[in-house]
Structure 1
């Protein structure tokens, strides 16, 4: 695999320009995304008395959150390929649910293990495997393959990615 140069500034410019040129879409996406998270929490607050309903509701909310996360990755990938995202993309990749879920569980276990080893390994491994979701969604890879691909593409770029994530967090 050839090593490509990673430009933090170029990545931020691309994201900013993409957002500006698709502002109406992103505002609508933000509203839909917000409603999909606000409405369930309101229902959960109202359902505190009905324990079984609350359990079922939290499971459904978790499933919906995973499906929307997959959809957001699909939208991000479309924009990175200079295609337009659509609201229907939020739910179009539901068939990847289990691959994404298992990869996410493995990712979380890896991070947890790293955090037990005095935090720094957890941060390094978090960056190393951060892109697993993109490989599940874009390439249809299984959990292990997606984590391996993420590891491969971040090799030699972890410090730049760490700084990039800090930059994004400050915006």
Structure 2
């Protein structure tokens, strides 16, 4: 009996004899690997099509006339044996020159991944829609990150102080020069630990936001998902900061180019679990053709953030000095800080996440 079915990749109608069911082969049109389905017993029944010759359904198709003429294709002997490249979306191995990833469906152009050209208006529009739809969880994950940061930072300082005092008691009198050295070491360790806490929580928040943008429903436990990427994040951030600083020293413009060329490295770490150097390499591909658009995005966001600062300064300058006035100034200041940390910063991080998602077809 003949099996007739369509290629799941290009929809080309194919047919072969039923003894080929379950075998793998390449589609003769698109070259993608497909699995021959089992024969449908109901196919031999009257299906209402007039003029259909039942002999065709019963006559086996000679293998030399079917798309299996070259024999079944095993994975290790077919598309996996060709030159390979990594899909930029899911990281799975696919044949070089593929126009579409068979794992995640990512569309490729001429075998090379090309980032989507983003539009500033669409970035803000999508960010606002996602922000409104997930306001509680987006603000909630940031509040949780702030609380965990304060608790972890305080505990870190306490532990280091206790270790310092214990060391001082053990060593007794210490020369001033040696004390300065120990103080410098203490300060460096403290800074590294504090920034490690910041990066750990930041990775968790970014992972949470990336899943929200994709339409998933992550839990607050995502705040603790940054561990596998922490070491690479710290090293990459140091490299990025040094390159950005060097660029700013060179008449500012090179620094801005570095910033808008490599900023997605953290998203690539958590999204594709790339090695550090590969995260920078892929960042160049992601931002290709989008650097000016991202400059406009952040320029607009900087202008938006300046508005509440200006309003705060105007209101504070208009208040006369005095007891009640000072209380009002404090209330205004704390209200402004709450607005920045609970509204502006979460929106800004979501804006970056949406920008990355748009560039990578997510």
Q: TM-score range by the shorter chain?
A: 0.7 to 0.9
- For structure 1, the 5+ residue unaligned runs are none
Q: How does 1:122-141 map to 2 (within 5 A)?
A: 122-141=255-274
Does the aligned pair in 1 maintain the 2:141–2:205 contact within 8 Å?
no
Q: TM-score normalized by structure 1?
A: 0.85
* TM-aligned CA deviation for residue 44 of structure 1: 8.3
Instruction: Choose which of 292, 295, 302 in structure 2 pairs with 1:159.
Output: 292
* TM-aligned CA deviation for residue 139 of structure 1: 0.3
Instruction: Choose which of 7, 14, 17 in structure 1 pairs with 2:119.
Output: 7
Alignment pair present for 1:116 and 2:228 = no
* TM-aligned CA deviation for residue 153 of structure 1: 1.4
Q: TM-score normalized by structure 2?
A: 0.43
CA-atom RMSD, angstroms? 2.6
- For structure 2, the 5+ residue unaligned runs are 1-112, 166-185, 305-362
* TM-aligned CA deviation for residue 12 of structure 1: 1.4
Greater than 6 Å deviation, 4+ residue runs: 41-47
Alignment pair present for 1:22 and 2:134 = yes
Cα distance, 1:137–1:3 mapped onto 2, change above 3 Å:
closer
Counterpart in the other structure of 2:200 = 67
Does the aligned pair in 2 maintain the 1:68–1:91 contact within 8 Å?
yes
Instruction: Choose which of 276, 279, 289 in structure 2 pairs with 1:146.
Output: 279
Identify the structure with the greater helix proportion: 1
Greater relative contact order (Cα < 8 A, sep 6+): 1
User: What is the aligned residue count?
Assistant: 171
Q: Distance in 1 between matches of 2:154 and 2:298?
A: 32
Q: Relative to structure 2, which stretch is displaced further, 83-92 or 35-44?
A: 35-44
Identify the structure with the greater strand proportion: 2
